[in-house]
């Protein structure tokens, strides 16, 4: 029995369907999510929820999570909110990412992450994403301008070549 390529499978799904399969671990996840400790919990049209457990790979020389990793989590979650409204899966391209860092983050702590689409335009979207402490305080929040990557070809494996 042949195993379907995840890239071919992605071509047949809407954005929220793909995200739902990722949350249920029915489809392989991008390796960088595992590397930084990010996992998708749920997705619905226009919003996603994740848990981020920063790994030791994310630490800076002072022992806290580096701001670049916080930025990446905010960007990834904002893009997922954008993906969730697509009639078919299309990755998002980030036009801008405006971040406010409010407090530090530590490895090994489970941080809830929520993102929602504020403006679901056809050509340009605006999303907001927030990382929270386990107690519900904001670690950082961002707004992102996004556009769907219309040139993406889900029938090819981007890791090949």
- The answer to the question of residue 101 being in a domain is yes
- The answer to the question of residue 10 being in a domain is yes
- The answer to the question of residue 157 being in a domain is no
- The answer to the question of residue 50 being in a domain is yes
In whole angstroms, what is the distance from residue 49 CA to residue 143 CA? 16
- The answer to the question of residue 158 being in a domain is no
Query: What is the predicted pLDDT for the residue at 159?
Result: 59
In CATH, what number is assigned to the domain containing residue 95? Answer: 3.10.129.10
- The answer to the question of residue 154 being in a domain is no
Q: Is residue 46 exposed (0-12), middle (13-18) or buried (19+ Cβ within 10 Å)? A: middle
Sheet containing 111-120: give its strands across.
38-44, 47-52, 111-120, 125-132, 138-148, 92-101
**Nearest residue to 114 (alpha-carbon basis) of 102, 130, 101, 99:** 130
Show the domain range for 70.
6-148
Q: What would the pLDDT profile of 31-83 be if each residue is shown by its tens digit?
A: 889 999 999 999 999 999 999 999 999 999 999 999 999 999 999 999 999 99
pTM of the predicted structure, to 2 decimals: 0.92
Query: What is the predicted pLDDT for the residue at 97?
Result: 98
Give the pLDDT band of residue 1 (cuts 50, 70, 90). very low
Query: What is the predicted pLDDT for the residue at 7?
Result: 64
| pLDDT average, residue stretch 20-32 | 88
In whole angstroms, what is the distance from residue 129 CA to residue 133 CA? 14
Q: What is the mean pLDDT of the chain?
A: 91
* Number of domains into which the chain is organized: 1
């Amino acid at each position: 029995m042949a195993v379907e390529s995840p890239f071919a499978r992605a071509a047949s799904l809407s954005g929220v369907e793909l995200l739902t399969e990722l949350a249920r671990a029915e489809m392989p996840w991008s390796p960088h999510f595992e590397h930084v400790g990010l996992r998708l919990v749920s997705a619905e049209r226009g919003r996603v929820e994740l848990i981020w457990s920063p790994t030791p790979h994310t630490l800076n020389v002072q022992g806290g999570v580096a701001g670049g990793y916080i930025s990446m989590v905010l960007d990834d979650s904002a893009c997922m909110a954008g993906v969730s409204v697509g009639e078919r899966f299309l990755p998002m391209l980030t036009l801008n990412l405006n971040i406010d860092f409010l407090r530090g983050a530590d490895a090994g702590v489970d941080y809830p992450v929520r993102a929602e689409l504020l403006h679901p335009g056809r050509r340009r979207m605006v999303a907001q994403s927030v990382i929270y402490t386990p107690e519900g305080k904001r670690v950082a929040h961002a707004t992102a301008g996004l556009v769907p990557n219309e040139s993406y070809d889900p029938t090819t494996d981007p890791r090949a070549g």
